[in-house]
Chain A
Amino acid sequence: MTAGEHSALELSLAGCHNCEQVNRIPAGVRGAVMRCPRCGTAIRPRKPDSIARTWALLIAAYVFYVPAMVFPITKITTLGQVQSDTIMSGVIYFLKSGEWPVGLVIFVASVFVPVLKLFILTYLVISLQRRSQWRPRDRTRLYRVTELVGRWSMVDIYVVTLLVTLVKVGAVANIDAGPAALYFAAVVVITIFAANSFDPRLIWDSLEKQQ
C-alpha cells in the first residue's frame, strides 16, 4: 500500500464522507453512485458536476447581491415620517455618528464577507478550469476560510428580525423589513450552497495529472 503518496481516487478508493471508511470503487463505477458498505451513505469520489454547479450558484449570488445593496433593508416610521435605510447607508450612519465599532461589524458581516467569499470562490473555480498548479495548499486554505466565515453574514438578517419585533410602538415608531432583507438572505444561503458544491479535492487532482 502506498498511503501518503496518492489520492484515494488514484488507487480506485473513496472515503465515505459520513463515516470516513475507505472503500474500493468497483470498476466502471467512477463518478456514479455507490453506497458505503458500513453506513449506506451514497459515496461519490468527487462531488458531482462541482464546477458547473458552483458557477451557477455563484452567478445567482452575484445577481441577488445587487438588489440586496440597492433596495432598503429597513423602513423606519416615526410619527408618520418614513425613512428607508440600505445596508450601506446604515453603515455610513454609524461611522458618522461615532459608533464606528458597530458600523465596522455591519460592514464586515454584510459587505466585506459576502463579497470576499464570492470573489474567493470565483477565483478557485477559475483556477480549477485553468488547471492551475499554483500553491494548492494555500488555495485549499482559502476554501476553508470561505466555509468558516459565510455564516457570519446572517447578522444583518437577525438585526432586522429583532428590530421589527421590538420597535412596534404604535404611531410613535415602527420598523418594517425592506425588500433587500430577502435578497440579502438569498445571497447568504446561496453562497453557503456554492461553498458546499465546490470540491477542493479537484485542486489536487490537476496537480496529480501533471506528474
Chain B
Amino acid sequence: MSAPLIACHECDLLQHRLPIPEGSVAKCRRCGAPLYRNIPDGVNRTVALAIGGLVLFVFANTFPLLSMQIGEQESSAELYTAVKAMWEQGEKALSMLVTLTCIAAPLTVLTLMLYVFLPLKFGRLAKGTVAVFRLLTTMQNWSMMEVFMLGILVTVVKLVKMATVIPGLGLLSFFVLIFLLAAASASLDTETVWERVDARQ
C-alpha cells in the first residue's frame, strides 16, 4: 500500500505523507509551507502543559498585573478590571475584543486541549472531538496573550516617569503562561487525534 496523501494548505500540491524522524517537520517541496510534524510524546506534553496553563490562568486573572502609585493615590490593573474599565467608559466593542483575545480565547484553548487530549491519553475519544478540535484551532488564532505582554511592557515605560509602577503576581503568572501556551500549541498532536477518529469508524 502506498503512503497516504496530503495536499499542501498553501499551494495544494499533492504529496505522499512519508514517515519523518521524531521532532522534525515535513515541508512542502513546492512552496516550503510546513505540512505535518512528528511530535514525540505530544499527547502527554499537551495534557501537562494545559493543566499547568489553567492553574496559571487563574493566577493571571485574579492577581494584579500592574499597580501604580502617584503620591497617596494607588491603582491596580487586573485583566478583568481592565476589561471592566473599558466597558464602563463606553468602549464596549474594544472591551469585548480584549476579553476575546486575552481571556476567552486562551481559556477556551486550554480547556479544549484538556477535553480532547486527556481522554486520548487513556486511549479514548471524547464526545464531539471533531467539532471541538475545529473550535480549538480557530480559537488559537484569536489568543493574543503574547501581544498583550508587549502592551504591558510599553505601558510600564509610558507610566514610569509620572508614577511608581509595581509589577504584580498576575504579571509573573501571565509571563510564564505565554510560554506554556506556546509550548502546548507546538506539541498539539493532530495526527493522533485523527488516527483515533479513524479507528472508531
Q: Check if A and B associate.
A: yes
Q: What residues of chain A have their CB less than 8 Å away from a CB belonging to chain B? A: 1-4, 6-9, 11, 13-15, 17-22, 38-41, 45, 99, 102, 105-106, 109, 136-137, 140-141, 143-144, 151-152, 154-170, 172-173, 176-177, 181-182, 185, 189, 192, 200-201, 203-205
Q: Within 8 Å CB of B134, what residues of A?
A: 18, 39, 41
Could you give 28 example pairs across A and B, Cβ below 8 Å? A2-B14, A3-B5, A3-B16, A4-B14, A11-B14, A17-B9, A21-B194, A22-B6, A38-B194, A38-B197, A38-B198, A38-B201, A40-B131, A45-B12, A106-B154, A144-B10, A152-B147, A154-B147, A157-B94, A160-B94, A162-B152, A163-B155, A166-B75, A166-B77, A172-B73, A192-B141, A201-B12, A204-B11
> Is B148 in contact with chain A by the CB < 8 A criterion?
yes
Do A158 and B29 contact each other (CB < 8 Å), given the known contacts A9-B12, A40-B130, A201-B10? Answer: no
**Is A169's CB under 8 angstroms from B75's CB?**
yes
- List the A residue with the shortest CB-CB distance to B93: A182
Q: Within 8 Å CB of B15, what residues of A?
A: 3-4
Q: What residues of chain B have their CB less than 8 Å away from a CB belonging to chain A? A: 2, 4-16, 29-33, 36, 65-66, 68, 70-71, 73, 75-77, 81-83, 85-86, 89, 91, 93-94, 97-98, 101-102, 130-131, 133-134, 137, 141, 144, 147-148, 150-152, 154-155, 157-159, 162, 190, 194, 197-198, 201
* Pair count A-B, CB < 8 A: 201
Bound Cα distance A151, B101 (Å): 10
**Is A159's CB under 8 angstroms from B144's CB?**
no
Bound Cα distance A105, B30 (Å): 35
Give the interface centre of A9, A13, A17, A157 by most chain B CB atoms within 10 Å: A157
Q: Within 8 Å CB of A106, what residues of B?
A: 154
Do A143 and B10 contact each other (CB < 8 Å), given the known contacts A3-B15, A157-B94, A162-B82? Answer: yes
**Is B68's CB under 8 angstroms from A140's CB?**
no
Report which of A7, A20, A156, A185 forms a contact with B13, defined as CB distance below 8 A: A7
Q: Report the minimum CB–CB distance from A1 to chain B (whole Å).
A: 7
Do A14 and B7 contact each other (CB < 8 Å), given the known contacts A164-B86, A204-B12? Answer: yes
**Is B94's CB under 8 angstroms from A144's CB?**
no
Further 13 A-B residue pairs, CB within 8 A, beyond A161-B83, A167-B159, A168-B75: A3-B15, A7-B12, A18-B130, A18-B133, A20-B36, A154-B144, A155-B150, A157-B97, A161-B151, A162-B77, A164-B86, A167-B75, A172-B70
Report which of B5, B89, B101 forms a contact with A13, defined as CB distance below 8 A: B5
**Is B7's CB under 8 angstroms from A177's CB?**
no
Q: Within 8 Å CB of B8, what residues of A?
A: 15
Q: Within 8 Å CB of B148, what residues of A?
A: 154, 158
Q: Report the minimum CB–CB distance from A77 to chain B (whole Å).
A: 13
- List the B residue with the shortest CB-CB distance to A8: B7
Q: Report the minimum CB–CB distance from A71 to chain B (whole Å).
A: 14
Q: Report the minimum CB–CB distance from A127 to chain B (whole Å).
A: 15
Bound Cα distance A25, B6 (Å): 15
Bound Cα distance A201, B16 (Å): 18
Q: Within 8 Å CB of A7, what residues of B?
A: 7, 11-14
Q: Report the minimum CB–CB distance from A157 to chain B (whole Å).
A: 6
